[in-house]
Amino acid sequence: GEPLPVESRPFASYGSALHVALPRPLSAGQLLTLEIDYEAGEGPGVCWLTPEQTAGKQKPYMYTQGQAVLNRSFFPGFDTPSVKCTYSATVQVPEGFTAVMSATSWEKQDNNTFVFKMSQPIPSYLIALAVGDIVSAEVGPRSSVWAEPCLIEAAKKEYDGVIEEFLAVGEKLFGPYVWGRYDILFMPPSFPFGGMENPCLTFVTPCLLAGDRSLVDVIIHEISHSWFGNLVTNATWGEFWLNEGFTMYAQRRISTEVYGLAYTCLEAATGRALLRQHMDNTGEDHPLNKLRVIIEPGLWGVNPDDTYNETPYEKGYCFVSYLAHLVGEQSKFDAFLQAYVNRFKFQSITADDALGFFLEYFPELKEKGVDSIPGFEFDRWLNAPGWPPFLPDLSPGEQLMKPADELAELWAADGLNMEAIEAVDITVWRTYQLVYFLDQVLQKSPLPEGNVERLSKMYPKISKAQNAELRLRWCQIVLKNNLEAEYSKVKDFLHSQGKQKYTLPLYRAMWAGSESARALAMETFSATAPQLHVNVQNYVKKILGLEVVE
C-alpha cells in the first residue's frame, strides 16, 4: 500500500472530519482498500469504568456507546445512519477478561484474542464492544444472557425462556429475525440507558433485574428494534421517530399478543404521561417537539445526542397508530408492516420514503387524500411541534386504570377514608398498574399534611420497592411532598444506578424543591458524579447550574 496524505479538519462541536487524499480519481463501484492507523479511547463513545463502577467491584470494565454520533471517537468511519456496512474486528484483551461485540459470529483464539464478524450491513452507531469480567448463561435456543459473575444467576432466572417467546411473536408479526442470535448483556449500573439495541447483543441496564420479570417490556422494545431501527433505519437523526415511533408501535403489538390489550393500553398510558410531562417541561411549541427535527451540521449546529427526548418515541407512536387507524383493520396494518420491513430491509430511509410506501401500498387511501385531511396532514404530523393531533384509544386499559385513579383520589383527600383505602388490595396489581397509580399521586402532590407518610407505611410494596420504575416515582413523590424523612431513598436510588431517564428527572425535582432538597442534589451529585456517564454528568451540571467543561 502507498502512504497517503491525511488531515483533520473541523466539522462540528461533536467531532472533526478526517480528509484522505487519494492518489488518483476513482470511478463509482470501484473497490478500494484504505488502511488507517489510529489510536482511540479518550472520546465520549468509549467508557472506561473503574472497579467501583461495576457490580462486582473487583475489575475494571469498558464499553462503547455509539448512538447517536459517538462512534466517531471509537474508530474513523462514515458515522451517519445513512450508510450501512458489514464489519469484522480482532480484539485482544488481558487475561481474566472477555470481549463481546454486536456481531453475528465470534470465536476465541489464543492469547485471549476474540475475532468477530457482522455479516449483515448495519449503520455505524450499532457497532459495539464491551470488555470486562463477564460470563454467559443460556436462556433460549438462540439466546444467552451475559453479565458479571455476581449477576449471572439473577439474569438467567429473570430471562429464562421469555426471550424466545418475544422473538417468535415478533417473527409472526414482522417477518424473519435476520440476526441469528439475540443475546443480552447486563451492563454495570452506570450505563446511562434502559437498553441499547446493538444487533445480536442488546446492552441493558441492570435495573431490569427486578426479580419478578416485571420490567421485561424494555426487552420487548429492544427486540422490536431488530426490525425497526436495525433493519430499516432512519437515514438522518432528524427523523429518529422512524426508528423509535415504529419500535414503540411494534413493542405494543408484541405486548398485546403476549400480555393482552388491557395491560398494553395501561403501559401506553404511562408512556403518554411521560410525553405530557416532557411537553409541560419544555413548552409544547419547543422545536424538539416535532417529529422532524432540523439538525444542521457545522460548528454551531445542534448535537443529535441532545435531541433525545420522549417526542420521537411517544408522538411517533401516535403517528404510526394514526396510520393504523386510517387503515382500520389490524390484520391489514400488520401485513403492511411486514411489507414495509421487506421493502426497506438493510436500507436507510426518510419519512417521505416510509409515507410514500404507505400510500402506494394502500392506493384506496391515497385516492381519498388521507395525507391531507385538515388537522391531520402528514406535513403537520412531521413539521408542527406540540401535542399529537390523534391519540390512539387506550380505553381497554380503563379496567386497570380506574381502580388506580380512584385510589389516588382517596389518598389526595383532606380527611383520609381509611375504610375505602383498605378495601383496595394492591398486592395483586402488576408493575404498570402501580406505576400508573403513582403517576396520579404525583400529579396530585403535594398531598395534604401527613398523607404521604401514611401511604408510605401502608404500602411497603411501593415505598420499599426494589423495582426501578417504582423507585423513580416514589422518589419523585418524596421530593414533591418534601418528605425529608425519606430523602435517603432518593440518595440510595441515585447511588445505585446512573440511567439518564431516572437520574435527570430526580435532579430536576430536587433543584425545583426546598433548600434541603437542593442541598441533597449537590451532596448526591458530588458523591456519584464519577460513576455517571459523561453525557449524564453534563446534563446534571446544567440542571444544577454548574460549569460544563466541553
| Average pLDDT over the chain, rounded to an integer | 95
ω into residue 44 within 30 of 0, thus cis?
no
Task: Give the pLDDT of residue 548.
Answer: 85
The predicted model gives 138-161 an average pLDDT of 97
Judge whether residue 397 has pLDDT over 90.
yes
Q: How confident is the model at residue 307 (pLDDT cuts 50, 70, 90)?
A: confident
Task: Give the pLDDT of residue 216.
Answer: 85
**Bridge-based pairing state of the strands 347-349 and 232-234:** parallel
Task: Give the pLDDT of residue 297.
Answer: 67
- Residues of the chain within CATH 3.30.2010.30 domain(s) are 47-226
Tens-digit pLDDT profile for residues 225-236: 999 999 999 999
Judge whether residue 197 has pLDDT over 60.
yes
- Architecture in CATH for domain 47-226: 2-Layer Sandwich (3.30)
The predicted model gives 416-432 an average pLDDT of 96
Judge whether residue 298 has pLDDT over 70.
no
Q: How confident is the model at residue 549 (pLDDT cuts 50, 70, 90)?
A: confident
- Say whether 222 is catalytic: yes
Task: Kindly name the residue from 313, 317, 459, 487 that is annotated as catalytic.
Answer: 313
Tell me the C-alpha distance between 114 and 71, whole Å.
Answer: 20
The predicted model gives 531-549 an average pLDDT of 91
**Bridge-based pairing state of the strands 183-186 and 195-196:** unpaired
Q: Looking at domain 233-383, does it have CATH number 1.10.390.10?
A: yes
195: nearest Cα among 226, 170, 173: 226
Task: Give the pLDDT of residue 296.
Answer: 76
Residues annotated within the binding site for a peptide are 65-67, 192-197, 499-501
Residues annotated within the binding site for Zn(2+) are 221, 225, 244
Tens-digit pLDDT profile for residues 325-336: 999 999 999 999
The predicted model gives 152-168 an average pLDDT of 97
Torsion of CA 509, 514, 516, 519, to 10 degrees: 50
Tens-digit pLDDT profile for residues 21-39: 998 999 999 999 999 999 9
Task: Give the pLDDT of residue 550.
Answer: 65
Tens-digit pLDDT profile for residues 222-275: 999 999 999 999 999 999 999 999 999 999 999 999 999 999 999 999 999 999
8 Å CB contact between 481 and 495: no
Tell me the C-alpha distance between 224 and 230, whole Å.
Answer: 9
Q: How confident is the model at residue 105 (pLDDT cuts 50, 70, 90)?
A: very high
Query: Whose grid coordinates read 401527613?
Result: 450
The predicted model gives 542-550 an average pLDDT of 89
- Residues of the chain within CATH 1.10.390.10 domain(s) are 233-383
The predicted model gives 95-119 an average pLDDT of 97
Task: Kindly name the residue from 61, 148, 158, 222 that is annotated as catalytic.
Answer: 222
- Say whether 313 is catalytic: yes
8 Å CB contact between 491 and 524: yes
Count the Cβ atoms, other than its own, within 10 Å of residue 353: 18
Task: Give the pLDDT of residue 408.
Answer: 98
Question: What is the pTM (predicted TM-score) of this model?
Answer: 0.94
Q: How confident is the model at residue 300 (pLDDT cuts 50, 70, 90)?
A: low
The amino acid occupying position 518 is R
Residues annotated within the binding site are 65-67, 192-197, 221, 225, 244, 499-501
DSSP class per residue in 202-231? EEE-GGG--SSSTTTHHHHHHHHTTTBTTT
